[in-house]
Amino acid sequence: MKFEKYHLTPAIKRNIDEMGFKRPTDIQFKAIPPILKGEDVLAIAQTGTGKTAAFAIPIVHLLHENKLREDPQGVSCIVMVPTHELAIQISNVFRTIAAHTKVKILCVIGGVDQDPQIAQIDKGIDVLVATPGRMFDLMCKGNLKLNKVKFLVLDEADRMLELGFLKDIKEMVGNMPKRRQTLFFSATINENLKTLAYSLVRYPVKIHMSANDPVSKNISHSVAYIEMDDKRFFLERVINENPESKILIFVRTKVRAERVSKALERVGIVSKTIHSDKEQADRKEVMEAFITGETKILIATDVSARGLDIPNVDYVVNYDLPEKAENYVHRVGRTGRGTNRGNAVSFCSPEEKPVLMEIEDYLGKPINVLEIDKKDYTETIDFSVAVDSDWKTLMKDAEIAEKERQNKKAKKKRK
């Protein structure tokens, strides 16, 4: 069934067509009709399958149709997401779908001035896309009223629970009308999320698109066994062997992201980093440069793994394996999106093998091992531009700095 056959506002159909969407993806095909009917939805689908449009299209249509009959004051839809980057992305999708309609969109995130956000809220908006911290702050100060919310969307809610926002989410929901439509969309689900979901939804339509394989079939997976201190050399090799490719590299810590970037700089490879210590303006600039292709190499922590739709990422490199197996799904989901092919390459040190086993159990299948013979391994190191540099010292210093940071945090908590 093509989008032109759906009973949607003509402006929305035109916007969808301009976005290049002809037919709905599987998640869109299953989610849009029940949302249009006013039903709650609990949807689990692989990342990169079009979840955002699955809820944005029907919500914009329903809000626009309602505004043709009346002009209600107050926020009608709340979309909660865990990260700044995802909030910006989702609000842009809403704006594109809502072009030439009466629906007004606002993105609210921390790290920027509150006053312009408050001014826009006061003027009246329909859809508020927000990260929890800033939204709760506005709500507690009385700048944001939720008594007229008709739609609540929780996207990547499991990540918000990991960040400790369960109490805040429940408090927020307590300020909303009981008669509303609640929509859950995520790439994975766990028991905590199930508990939260079923406490908020009413007889939801359940959609589970990833029962057999939690990651896209468009992604080729491989793992190479590499000593922790030798990973830098092999990253250099991957980048040099794919000079025109857009490569997203994941590391475990913020300090490590900066150190890996510095190590690449020493061998003449330009890269950017993104993590939670970056100012919002810097994060936005870095992400825009990577999306447009101005920057080809981006080093990130898991703050950038959730839900982001970055076009044409050729390789995801797990420089460090993630601490949680399910985060592997979110990381590699940045490549192989839609109909595009993608590659996921993981570096596994001896101490990371237990994590690799957890990831393979989670995926329900082994990851293809890239066999590296001793000669090839040695030559990769010997031929590196940085063979005589002190990058190993830099990386060890990074680990020490990270441990010191964690110790300081622990001391503060004890106080």
The model's pLDDT over 239-293, given as tens digits with 9 standing for 90+, comes to: 999 999 999 999 999 999 999 999 999 999 999 999 878 887 888 899 889 989 9
**For the segment 8-45, what is each residue's pLDDT rounded down to a tens digit?**
999 999 999 998 888 898 889 999 999 999 999 998 87
Would you call 203 exposed, middle or buried from its count of C-beta atoms within 10 A (0-12, 13-18, 19+)? exposed
Domains of the chain, by residue range, sit at: 3-208, 219-401
Q: Point out which residues pair with 345 in neighbouring strands.
A: 222, 317
Kindly state the percentage of the chain with pLDDT values over 70.
87
* Average pLDDT of span 181-187: 85
Q: In CATH, what class is 219-401?
A: alpha beta
* Average pLDDT of span 334-350: 88
Report residue 94's pLDDT band, with 50, 70 and 90 as the boundaries. Answer: very high
| Token pair 């702050």 in the structure block, residue | 137
How much is the pLDDT for 386?
61
Q: Is the pLDDT of residue 211 over 50?
A: no
Higher pLDDT: 194 or 219? It is 219
Three-point CA angle 315, 258, 398, nearest 5°:
120
Whole-number Å distance between alpha carbons of 363 and 350: 20
How much is the pLDDT for 93?
94
Higher pLDDT: 34 or 83? It is 34
Query: Do 360 and 366 meet the contact criterion of CB atoms below 8 Å apart?
Result: yes
Q: Is the pLDDT of residue 413 over 60?
A: no
- Please determine whether the domains at 3-208 and 219-401 fall in the same fold group of CATH: yes
* The two three-digit tokens of residue 84, written as one number: 């700044």
Q: Which of 160-164, 189-193, 253-257, 328-332 has the highest mean pLDDT?
A: 253-257
- Lowest-confidence pick of 57-61, 370-374, 394-398: 394-398
Report residue 53's pLDDT band, with 50, 70 and 90 as the boundaries. Answer: very high
Cα–Cα nearest to 60, from 90, 21, 29, 40 = 90
Report residue 358's pLDDT band, with 50, 70 and 90 as the boundaries. Answer: very high
Protein fold of 3-208: Rossmann fold (3.40.50)
How much is the pLDDT for 25?
86
Report residue 398's pLDDT band, with 50, 70 and 90 as the boundaries. Answer: low
How much is the pLDDT for 368?
95
Report residue 2's pLDDT band, with 50, 70 and 90 as the boundaries. Answer: confident
How much is the pLDDT for 344?
95
Count CA within 13 A, CB hemisphere, residue 340.
17
Q: What phi and psi values does residue 390 have, to the nearest 5 degrees?
A: -105, 35
Cα–Cα nearest to 244, from 341, 314, 149 = 314
* Average pLDDT of span 408-414: 61
